[in-house]
Amino acid sequence: MVNSIEVILVPTFMIIVGVLLKYFNILDDDHSSLLSKIVLNISLPALIFINISSSRIEGQMILLPLISFGLSFICMLIAYFYSKLRGYSKIKTWTLIILLSMMNTAFIGYPIVLGVFGNEGLTYAIFYDMAVAILFVIFGIILSTIFGGNKKEVIHNGLTFVPLWAIIFGLIFNIFNIPLGYVLKNSLTYLGNSAIPLIMLSLGLTISFKDFKSYLSDVVFVSFSRLLIAPIILYTLLAGTGFSGLMLQVSVLQSAMPTAMNSLVLAITYDLDVELVSAVVFITTIISLLTLPVIISVL
């Protein structure tokens, strides 16, 4: 049986390949943007659609987005009170709220869950990630109201978010048992299979080694809270209310993911603390390679 370390090493190896491709100037940051567009608009929707349309969907799965929302709200409160104690500005406070509540449940969560729990676990992970995708749009609307911005553009981007439509159409095809046919099924399968390696390569290209000294205390706080405190809180709540099996395992594993890279998009768009966001995304991603095997072993 494959152990948790080996599961983590597979995406880690692909991330390292991305770092090396950038280091040797074979690919650069601009290529990361291109790969991300391919993943978000083609590969990831295909992976999501194929898994949802062909999986056995259980009624309790509808609770997964609610569980994800609930944990994100708890993380927001933690970030808010931490910021209050330190007397941070509104910009710094919202930066920390986003960093702590936005989990990388797709770009890193999908490969890890797939490696540990297989396709059935991936279906659970997709439902859990729905809340994170919606939360991204909600944050965009809130931040555009507070700091200025094009609210209509945010709503438009949310409504045209292809992975979200992949979930909707996947559910329609599943519920009504609509056949895909040989050509469509295999074409989408091939496209979906490209999602994980492209995600990992893209992540490797975005990693930037910068000086974190001025952000050290905040980086430590977010890393500790995001990677350890959040999964402990969720495990305690779910286990205490009778949840078990894949529902519990996938939810807790997803809750232990590093800060989402989409938080950097929000930070750049609304002039938040971009340097802090970059530092946290990088550090939590690296540390998660050590903490995730521990979480997996416990589960």
pLDDT in tens, 160-189: 777 778 888 988 998 888 988 899 999 998
* pLDDT band, residue 7 (cuts 50/70/90): low
pLDDT for 8 equals 67
Average pLDDT over residues 137-164: 72
pLDDT in tens, 255-278: 999 998 778 767 776 778 877 887
Tokens 């969720």, located at residue: 234
pLDDT for 1 equals 42
Q: Is the pLDDT of residue 68 over 90?
A: yes
Alpha carbon distance 287, 212 (integer Å): 14
Average pLDDT over residues 192-201: 79
Q: What values do phi and psi take at 207, rounded to 5?
A: -65, 130
pLDDT for 137 equals 73
Average pLDDT over residues 67-72: 94
* pLDDT band, residue 98 (cuts 50/70/90): very high
* pLDDT band, residue 230 (cuts 50/70/90): very high
* Mean pLDDT, all residues of the chain: 83
CB-CB contact of 250 with 63 (8 Å): no
Q: Is the pLDDT of residue 105 over 70?
A: yes
Average pLDDT over residues 66-76: 94
pLDDT for 262 equals 73
Query: Comparing 2 with 284, which gets the higher pLDDT?
Result: 284
Q: What residue numbers bound the domain in which 38 lies? A: 4-298
Q: What values do phi and psi take at 103, rounded to 5?
A: -100, 145
Alpha carbon distance 82, 80 (integer Å): 5
Alpha carbon distance 108, 18 (integer Å): 14
Average pLDDT over residues 10-32: 82
Q: Could you tell me the CATH number of the domain that includes residue 213? A: 1.20.1530.20
Alpha carbon distance 281, 262 (integer Å): 10
Lowest mean pLDDT among 52-56, 84-88, 107-111, 281-285: 52-56
Lowest mean pLDDT among 13-22, 39-48, 50-59, 170-179: 50-59
Tokens of 17: 């390949």
Q: Enumerate the β-bridge partners of residue 259.
A: 103
- CB within 8 Å of 134: residues ≥ 6 apart: 65, 158, 164
User: Which residue in 259, 246, 215, 251 sits closest to 233, CA to CA?
Assistant: 251
User: Which residue in 43, 45, 69 sits closest to 165, CA to CA?
Assistant: 45
Share of the chain above pLDDT 90, in %: 28
User: Which residue in 253, 206, 188 sits closest to 47, CA to CA?
Assistant: 188
pLDDT in tens, 124-143: 998 898 888 778 778 877 87
* pLDDT band, residue 210 (cuts 50/70/90): low
pLDDT for 3 equals 57
Tokens 């205490």, located at residue: 240
Q: 56: buried, middle or exposed (CB in 10 Å: 19+, 13-18, 0-12)?
A: exposed
- CB within 8 Å of 30: residues ≥ 6 apart: none
Helix (H, G, I), strand (E, B) or coil at 259: strand
Query: Comparing 291 with 214, which gets the higher pLDDT?
Result: 291
- CB within 8 Å of 6: residues ≥ 6 apart: none
Share of the chain above pLDDT 70, in %: 89
Query: Comparing 104 with 79, which gets the higher pLDDT?
Result: 79
